[in-house]
C-alpha cells in the first residue's frame, strides 16, 4: 500500500472525487482504507437499556487505488492541473 494510517489523502475517483481527509484505518488484506469524512453512510442504532436510539454517520472503506497521498506543503497536485493530451491529431 502506498498510504498508511494518519496520512492525508485526496479521493481521485468515485462518488466523493475531490474530497480529502485523514486515513483512520488501513485494511491491507482488502486493499482498502477508511478516510475521515469520505464515503459516509447513516447507521441507525436501536435504543437499549439506559440509552436512546440515534442515527450516526460512519465512513465506508475506499479502495486504495481511488486515493492519492497529499503533502501538506504541496497543495497543488496533478489532479488539479488541466489534463494534457500529447497525441493530438
CATH number at residue 44: 2.30.30.30
Could you tell me the residue range of the domain that residue 62 belongs to? 8-69
The closest of 53, 57, 58, 63 to 33, measured between CA atoms, is: 63
Handedness of CA 30, 31, 35, 39 (dihedral sign): negative
Categorize the per-residue pLDDT at 9 as very low, low, confident or very high, splitting at 50, 70 and 90. very high
pLDDT digits (tens, 9 = 90+) for 32-87: 999 999 999 999 999 999 999 999 999 999 999 999 998 755 554 555 566 677 77
Q: How many domains does the chain have?
A: 1
The predicted structure's pLDDT at residue 71: 72
Q: Does 81 reside within a domain?
A: no
Within-domain flag for 3: no
* Domain presence at residue 57: yes
Amino acid at each position: 500500500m502506498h498510504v498508511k494510517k494518519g496520512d492525508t489523502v485526496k479521493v481521485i475517483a468515485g462518488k466523493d472525487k475531490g474530497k480529502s481527509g485523514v486515513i483512520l484505518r488501513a485494511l491491507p488484506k482488502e486493499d482498502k482504507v477508511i478516510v475521515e469524512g469520505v464515503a459516509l453512510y447513516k447507521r441507525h442504532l436501536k435504543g437499549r437499556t439506559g440509552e436512546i436510539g440515534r442515527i450516526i454517520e460512519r465512513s465506508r472503506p475506499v479502495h486504495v487505488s481511488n486515493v492519492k497521498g497529499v503533502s501538506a506543503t504541496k497543495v497543488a497536485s496533478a489532479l488539479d492541473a488541466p489534463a494534457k493530451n500529447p497525441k493530438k491529431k
